[in-house]
Amino acid sequence: MGKVIISLTSYPARIDTVHLAIRSILRQTVQADKILLWLSIEEFPNKYADLPQSLLLIKEEPQFMICWVDENLKSHKKYYYALQNYRDDIVITVDDDMYYEPAMIETLLKSYKTHPTSISARNTHRIYASKDVIAPYCTWSSKLDECEDTESMNLCAIGVGGILYPPGCSHTDWFRKEQIYTLAENQDDIWLKFQEVRLGIPVVYVKAQADDNTIEGSQITSLMAANTQQDNDLCLKKLLQFYKEDLTIKNWILSLQQIKEAMQYKKQVCIEKLIPHKHNISIFGAGINAEYLFLFISKYIPEICIDSFVVSDGTGNPRFMKGIPVIQLNDLKKPCTLLIGVSRLRYREIEHLMQNSKKHKWITVNVEIIRNVYQGLSYVEDCDNRSYHH
């Protein structure tokens, strides 16, 4: 086995916190041979003089190296140079906004030993087709347990969890700057997925031993919000147009599961998990995930009546959502069943509330799947309506 190279990039808005991500990599159960941080001189014209002391202190670590490049390929920098300069080694790309759990490298290497010609990733999205096109990005499913440890062409590796690239897997087409700039300027994950499909390289979902944590203050200028909306779908449209004559891409799309079939099955699974809870039901949470949970129940399980949205602190929350009152947990007078409508990261923050509020029945709901199913079925219904009117 070659050396293990960790490769990441950063930019001015996150340069003050990137040292935290790097320190979490330095504390891994299996150590990397090199940790490379690629920075653009366009963004840091004074080089080291533009960097915070917190980052300069890590320069003393023998594994760590700051690598300066002239151009600014944005998020593509994290793989672009390492995969070309270290072709005989294992390259693991990571993001600059996460504390990585200590077994991140170890877990990916175990997958590599079992799947030495595949790309292993701790965060993946399953891609669906809608007839002969790729379904919108927001409908792709994330972290499916049934895909664990299985080589698949239907999974897209997502950089936030860490992605392992086996030695020599890349091709010169991956590094065509003009195409990157015009087709996928900010979408490195999608760009690489198309390149992997063209070479027939599958992706393996590697389940993490523990959750990573987002670095506080690192998401103010995150690309995630834009990328999961119109930008990713625009990128997909450009790539499909560019590769419209590529038979490998065409056949791959035809092999993808149809979104209508996938979402109908997942809808039924979600209904079966929620249907036993019918009386004195409230949703804990007042954010986007709680809203999608409410929309799903209202549309597909009308026999469940939601009495209220419940929050731990009313500060900053509306008095009503979707015509339903938003009330504080302490103001709940009688015992009720609380469906937890918050993300996995927020879930940890409310565990103490669950332990202290034992008069209520707390039901964990996979709100990410609920949201995915609702968005997917909404897209299918829109397509069906357009087909009907035409």
Q: What angle do CA 364, 365, 366 make, to 5 degrees?
A: 125
pLDDT exceeds cutoff 90 at 2:
no
What span, in angstroms and rounded, lies between the C-alpha atoms of 311 and 101? 29
pLDDT in tens, 7-19: 999 999 999 999 9
Q: Which sequence spans correspond to the domains of the chain?
A: 4-255, 264-372
pLDDT exceeds cutoff 70 at 1:
no
What span, in angstroms and rounded, lies between the C-alpha atoms of 188 and 181? 11
- The pLDDT-based confidence of 223 (bands split at 50, 70, 90) is very low
The CATH-assigned architecture of domain 264-372 is 3-Layer(aba) Sandwich (3.40)
pLDDT in tens, 126-169: 999 998 899 999 899 886 778 899 999 999 999 999 999 999 99
Summarize the confidence of residues 192-219 as an average pLDDT: 90
pLDDT exceeds cutoff 80 at 228:
no
Summarize the confidence of residues 275-298 as an average pLDDT: 94
Summarize the confidence of residues 187-207 as an average pLDDT: 97
Q: Which of 197, 217, 203 is nearest to 159 (CA)?
A: 203
Write phi, then psi, for 170 (nearest 5 degrees). Answer: -85, 165
In CATH, 4-255 is 3.90.550.10:
yes
Summarize the confidence of residues 322-331 as an average pLDDT: 92
